[in-house]
Homo-oligomer: A and B are copies of this chain.
Amino acid sequence: MNSELSVLLGDLVTVTHRLTRLAAQATGDSTSPAAWRTLSVLTSAGPMRIGELALASRVSQPTMTKIVANLNELEWIKRIADSSDARAWHIAIAPKGQNALNDWRYRLGAALEPLFADLSVRELGVLSEATDLIGDRITVQEMAA
């Protein structure tokens, strides 16, 4: 096993832990991270069932049922009956939810921007590529799970 990669990944997780925490404090966000993750998944992968959503967002199915119920009350998602299976629902992001997600991302960026304002164009590119690299691998994993 590649121990260098191991250490790098450990550091990456530790550092992003703190970034996440800092971001939450900076935006004074009350919506749960899992809800944002869920909206984010719906945006990038399109409508899906509660069970699939639970896998993709890495929470248990009952937790996702609750998250969806909350998002539904906010009218941030739509529940669409599955015509071929009366037990199941298709969950789709609603316009309000898309707006909320965009707004959250924006506020997050605004809150953290001062910290990163000194980045060079090259460093910006590094961060951007790293984000893509991680995103690709997470997505692959989620689809496989």
Query: A: which residues have CB within 8 A of B?
Result: 1-23, 25, 33, 36-37, 40, 57-58, 104-106, 108-110, 112-113, 115-117, 119, 123-124, 126-131, 133-135, 137-138, 140-142
Number of copies of this chain in the oligomer? Answer: 2
Contact of A19 among B4, B106, B123, B134 (CB under 8 A): B134
Which secondary structure dominates chain A's binding surface? helix
Considering the chains assembled together, what is the distance between the CA atoms of A25 and B21 in angstroms? 19
Contact of A106 among B6, B16, B123, B138 (CB under 8 A): B6
Complex contact A22–B110 (CB within 8 A): no
Residues in B whose Cβ lies below 8 Å from that of A112 = 9, 13
Residues in B whose Cβ lies below 8 Å from that of A135 = 11, 15
Nearest opposing residue in chain B for A125, CB measure: B126
Complex contact B133–A119 (CB within 8 A): yes
User: Which of A5, A129, A142 has the most CB atoms of chain B within a 10 A radius of its CB?
Assistant: A5
Q: Told that A4-B124, A12-B16, A13-B23 touch, could you supply 5 new A-B pairs with CB distance under 8 A?
A: A1-B110, A5-B113, A21-B37, A126-B133, A130-B130
